Amino acid sequence: MKRRNFLISPPALALGAAAAPALALSAPAIISPAARILPREGKGPRIVICGGGWGGLTAARYLRELIPNADVVVLDRNPTFWSGPMSNKWLVDIVNTDFVQHDLMRPANRYGYKLLQTEVTAFERDKKLVHTTHGLIEYDYLILSGGIRDAWDAWFGDDQRAIEHTRRHYASAYIPNQQMFGLKQRVKDFKGGTLVMTLPPPPHRCPPSPYERACLIASHIKKNKIPGKIVILDPKPKIAPIGVGYKQAFDELYADIITHVPNARVQEVDPFNKKIKTSAGELKFDEAIFMPPHQAADMVWHAGLIGKDATTGKPTGWADMHPHLFHAHSDDNVYFVGDLMGAISPQFGHYPKSGHVANYIGRIVAKYIAQRVAGQEVKAMLPDNLCYMMVNTEPQEEISVKFEYEVDAKGQVNQTQIDMDVRSGDLVKEDFAWARGMFSDFLAI
Ligand SMILES: Cc1cc2nc3c(=O)[nH]c(=O)nc-3n(C[C@H](O)[C@H](O)[C@H](O)COP(=O)(O)OP(=O)(O)OC[C@H]3O[C@@H](n4cnc5c(N)ncnc54)[C@H](O)[C@@H]3O)c2cc1C
């Protein structure tokens, strides 16, 4: 096997399109990463979406609907979709695996876009080319929707041994992949002692969800009478969002299990000797769920589209983009959808990095591209956000947070946050209805 060529067996390559079944590859096939693959189809624009998660799959569906002759291609490294939302509930067996893990071919076939299981590795934006491990793919418009990456280097520099050890033993599974099963096994195997959870500094993926995870693991500890404690090391000065609701849950349901430590910024981690030092003190742990700072997925770095801090000139870690139109400042053929997006407003910074927002922005970006293709004026649109969080399992009760947005007289987007701090069973029903509605929207379930 030559270094630049490799053999693909059929399961390694998922390729589907209801509108173009002839594209299914006859495998095994030799494909070179340097060869052009997926020739354009029809006369419509070619839109390549890098990342088939909450945002990317939504954009794909609506692009196919709004621009019927568009040649839409979704690229994802994973063979299946794994949902972040509801995954904390899956960790403690409130929902089954088939509630959070889904077939990617179903929406591809239903909505008529192409799907390729591959790794996006680089871009030649001047030639409008995406590099993948399977070959080069042309585009007219490019959507980057790869989610986040864990910035382990913020803790360990280039100490790859420490990074690998931490990833293997203490991963948070905040990025959809097989880490979820490892994490679930660790929760099941936890027989007692101190379980430490670190929260990343804002902005990060789904801010209320680490507290939900703490509550659900605490409910598992309580139910199974495990002699264990959870220590949440939080860099923020207080719990947020839904701070009152979470504090009540910690105090009223898990007083002897959960300790929340504010202002705990991680300074040193020794994963081998199970020690962590923060600005709020040092701790030894038996088990850990570690979240280093989150940043935009590697693909934004590969595309050279990471923002720079206006004062320091250092990378912001997030996409450099127009705050209302969501395309790159330096390249209006490249759009951003989902968690990798950069700051929106001086008032609140980033849109919440949630599946709800990723879905909303996916729809908005599909509209923006459709308006451009039709030669129409692009009209800026705003999303909203809604997150439900389970805090109690016996009985099942949730709290929630809602965000609304409006543009002020200066043209800046302002945010209103509405916390629902009173836990209730009604919110559980709303949550499941929300999740089913979302899955129906972009997974065709
Ligand atoms: C525990 C937990 C609970 C959550 N709870 C909620 C909730 O209740 N409500 C809510 O709204 N949100 C929630 N979220 C947040 C939600 O999961 C994310 O905000 C959402 O997934 C963001 O969508 P996205 O499309 O930006 O990224 P993702 O959904 O992560 O999709 C990114 C995709 O890009 C692919 N990818 C990345 N890089 C490459 C590459 N180089 N090549 C090929 N493919 C690549 C990945 O495989 C992935 O499929 C939760 C998240 C977690 C982890």
DSSP for 332-374 reads EEEEE-STT----BTTTBSPPB-HHHHHHHHHHHHHHHHHHHT
Q: Is 411 helix (H, G, I), strand (E, B) or coil?
A: coil
Give the three-state DSSP class for 26: coil
Kindly state if the Cβ of 132 falls inside 6 Å of ligand 1: no
Q: Please report the pLDDT score of residue 177 as a whole number.
A: 77
- CA–centroid distance for 204 within its chain: 10
Question: How far, rounded to the nearest angstrom, does the alpha carbon of residue 402 sit from its chain's CA centroid?
Answer: 19
Tell me what the pLDDT averaged over the chain comes to. 93
Residue 350 one-letter amino acid: H
For helices 355-373 and 425-443, give the axis angle rounded to 10 degrees: 30
Query: What is the structure's pLDDT at 10?
Result: 31
Q: Going by C-beta distance under 8 Å and a sequence separation of 6 or more, which residues neighbour residue 365? A: 59, 143, 326, 335, 336, 337
Best residue among 82, 354, 431 to mutate for probing ligand 1, ranked by most atoms within 8 Å of CB: 354
Query: Using CA of residue 242, residue 244, residue 247, residue 248, what is the dihedral sign?
Result: negative
Spatial separation of the C-alpha atoms in residues 427 and 211, rounded to whole Å:
17
Contacts 24+ apart (CB under 8 A), 326-329: 326/361, 326/364, 326/365, 326/368, 327/368, 328/303
pLDDT at 178: 76
CA of 143 to the centre of ligand 1 (A): 15
Q: Are 170 and 288 in contact (CB under 8 A)?
A: yes
Per DSSP, the residues of 241-300 read: SSHHHHHHHHHHH-TTTEEEESS--EEEEETTTTEEEETTEEEE-SEEEB---EEE-HHH
pLDDT at res. 30: 54
- Look up the pTM and report it: 0.94
Q: What is the pLDDT of residues 75-101, one digit of tens each?
A: 999 999 999 999 999 999 999 999 999
- Ligand 1 contact via 352 beta carbon (within 6 Å): no
- State the maximum Cα–Cα separation within the chain, in Å, rounded to a whole number: 65
> Ligand 1: does its nearest atom lie under 6 Å from the Cβ of 387?
yes
**Nearest ligand 1 atom to alpha carbon 362:** 25
DSSP state of 28: S
From 99, 205, 400, 436, mutation site for ligand 1 pocket: most ligand atoms within 8 A of C-beta: 205
The pLDDT of residue 25 is 36
Beta strand pairing call for 281-284 and 275-278: antiparallel
Task: For ligand 1, say whether the CB of 206 is within 6 Å of any of its atoms.
Answer: yes
Asked if residues 341 and 351 have their Cβ atoms less than 8 Å apart, the reply is: yes
Q: What share of the chain is helix, strand, coil (3-state, %, to 5)?
A: 30, 30, 40
* Ligand 1 nearest atom to the CA of residue 87, by list position: 1
Q: How far is CA 363 from the centre of its chain?
A: 16
Q: What is the pLDDT of residue 396?
A: 98
Q: Which ranges of the chain have pLDDT less than 50?
A: 1-28
List residues bridging with 129 in a β-sheet. 124, 138
Structure tokens at 55: 């945002």
Give the three-class secondary structure for 399. strand
CA distance from start to end of the chain = 41
Pocket perturbation via mutation, ligand 1, pick of 48, 58, 75, 76 by most ligand atoms within 8 A of CB: 76
